[in-house]
Structures are given as C-alpha cells and as structure tokens.
Amino acid sequence: MEAQQEYRVCALDEIPDGDGVLGIAGSLEVGVFRRGQQLYAYENRCAHQGGPVCTGELLGKTVQILDEGKEVTAEIFDESEMHLICPWHGWEYDLATGELACDRRYRLRRFDVSVRDGIVYVSAPNGAD
C-alpha cells in the first residue's frame, strides 16, 4: 500500500455547507466538498477528458415525474443525491461516492478527508502525482 501523507487544505469554516473549495495535496489539485457534517475530497480531474470537475456545480439528481401514460410532466432536483457536474461536457458524478451517475464503472479519484482542531486535511499518496 502506498504511504499516505496529510495535506492541510483550509479551515472547516471556509467551506460553506453545500459547496466546495479547491486545495492542493502534494502535486494534485483536489476539491473538498461539504454537505452538513460530511466532507468529500476528489482529485480535480474528470474521468472523461481530465476537465476541472471540482469547479462544477452541485445539483440534486434530476428526477422525472411521469403521468399514467409515462409522459414526462415535470423534472425536479432530488437533493437526497447530490451531483457534481463537470463544467466541460456535463458528466454528472454522485458527490457521495464519486461515481459517474449514469455509469458507475467510472469514478473520480477519491481521498480520505479529516478535520482536526477546525482544520481540514486530505490524505493523498506521499509525493502525490
């Protein structure tokens, strides 16, 4: 197993609830997102073509409401599953898992994230690249 190193990203209160910040872990750019008490950290690199996925919007999963004839009558954003939308071509990742919402074989590179004394740390491979 690769040796891990902790990298300080920012103070916890610098990450608004429902939003994220970019930080550096060694030579990697990472996005750290906050949802309530939960934090998620991913490399800022889309699985599609390497776009800056962590600079994208966070939106609830799109749910279509159908009538009895299976015609779409409305679309809503279901915030029980938040999606991170890559700004380059719109690939949508499940914020909680980093998996591509429409094909779970693809995923973002995820890192452990922790908080001590109000400071957010990301664990990445030593000399991460």
Of 88 and 125, which CB lies nearer to ligand FES in the complex structure?
A: 88
Alpha-carbon torsion 121, 118, 97, 44, what sign? negative
Distance of CA 39 to CAs 18, 33, 110, 122, Å?
A: 10, 6, 11, 10
88/123 with CB nearer ligand FES = 88
Q: Does 91 bind ligand FES (CB under 6 A)?
A: yes
Applying CB under 6 A, which of residues 8, 89, 104, 116 lies at the interface with ligand FES? 89
For ligand FES, the binding residues in 5-64 under the rule CB under 6 A are 46, 48-49, 51, 53
Q: Are 21 and 10 in contact (CB under 8 A)?
A: yes
The answer to whether the beta carbons of residues 124 and 8 sit under 8 Å apart is: no
Residues that bind ligand FES (CB under 6 A): 46, 48-49, 51, 53, 86, 88-91
